[in-house]
Amino acid sequence: MRSMAILTDVTRCIGCEECVLACKRTNGTGADEPRRWQQTAEDLSESRWTTLVPAPGGRAVRLHCRHCLEPACASACPVGALHRTPEGAVAYDADICMGCRYCMIACPFQMTRYEWSSATPRVRKCILCYEKVSSGELDQPACTAACPTKATVFGTRDELLAEARRRIADAPDRYLNHVWGEHEVGGTSVLYVSDVDLATAGWPAALRPGSYPALTRPALHAVPWTFAGVGAAAFGLNWVIGRRRRLAGGEGPAGPPEGEGDGK
């Protein structure tokens, strides 16, 4: 199956935040509440799965989960709550998650957030509108559909990689000769082209070109079995609390239905 992907062209982004608002509307994430571990309400959070950050030259760069081809978050999850779907989205199963937050530590882009405001917190992040697109409810993610300048577009990874290379070849004076996400961390399904370096806008210069799960696996194997026992207890507690919540009719902030491929 061909992999779903997003290409963001930083040179076309006007910073209007229509993508951010469309994501919030579609996923029902509610108002942004500044918290002490966030610098501002505009930072990525449980209610804000995509946001804009400044880059050199006055550019705005859209941030969200990169849907890595080899996701370190999924590799770090001891119970398989995060997984890469055949369609390319890195999805999340809240019913399995035991709340250990290893995924948050493992993500090389720091794109996952925790639902601190909930009694039964989930991991929250961009889900590539996976359920809605794969079911046919949407023909593309809400954010790409909303972008007025087509700065962020949806397609298959192969098509978008070719489009990114074509734009650079057609206008070498307009773009840096680099497609962010082509090789970093083993490749991602969210790609960028830009006229300014993105090292300070979500693409740290220290990223390795190869697979990150290869790094996290040995670390996980070194986790003592006692921690596995603690994890199992946490999972049991989380499951009981979650079941009580469901029986009581649900609580916490609105979001995708449980079991949907959501994140953060």
Nearer to ligand SF4, 94 or 142 (CB): 142
Does 67 help bind ligand SF4 (rule: CB under 6 A)? yes
Report the site for ligand SF4 in 71-90 (rule: CB under 6 A). Answer: 71-73, 90
81, 91, 151, 164: which one binds ligand SF4 (CB under 6 A): 151
Q: Nearest approach, Cβ of 249 to ligand SF4 (angstroms)?
A: 26
Q: How far apart are the C-alpha atoms of 132 and 129, rounded to whole Å?
A: 6
Nearer to ligand SF4, 98 or 106 (CB): 106
Query: Which of these segments, 36-44, 108-116, 166-174, 176-184, binds ligand SF4 (CB under 6 A)?
Result: 108-116
Does 141 help bind ligand SF4 (rule: CB under 6 A)? yes
Nearer to ligand SF4, 21 or 168 (CB): 21
Contact pattern for ligand SF4 over residues 87 through 106, marking x by CB under 6 A: ---x----------------
Q: Nearest approach, Cβ of 116 to ligand SF4 (angstroms)?
A: 17
Nearer to ligand SF4, 147 or 179 (CB): 147
Q: How far apart are the C-alpha atoms of 206 and 180, rounded to whole Å?
A: 13
Does 196 help bind ligand SF4 (rule: CB under 6 A)? no
Does 180 help bind ligand SF4 (rule: CB under 6 A)? no
HEC profile for 158-185?
HHHHHHHHHHHHHCCCCCCCCCECCCHH
CA 83 to chain centre: 12
Q: How many C-beta atoms lie closer than 10 Å to residue 24's C-beta?
A: 20
Provide CB contacts within 8 A for 120, sequence distance 6+: 238, 241, 242, 245, 251, 252
Does 122 help bind ligand SF4 (rule: CB under 6 A)? no
Nearer to ligand SF4, 126 or 164 (CB): 126
How many residues of this chain interact with ligand SF4, rule: CB under 6 A? 41
Side chain identity, residue 15? G
Does 198 help bind ligand SF4 (rule: CB under 6 A)? no
Q: Nearest approach, Cβ of 261 to ligand SF4 (angstroms)?
A: 10
Nearer to ligand SF4, 105 or 241 (CB): 105
Radius of gyration, alpha carbons of the chain: 18
Question: Binding residues for ligand SF4, per CB under 6 A?
Answer: 13-19, 22-23, 26-27, 49-50, 52, 62, 64-68, 71-73, 90, 107, 109, 111-112, 125-129, 141-143, 146-147, 149, 151-152
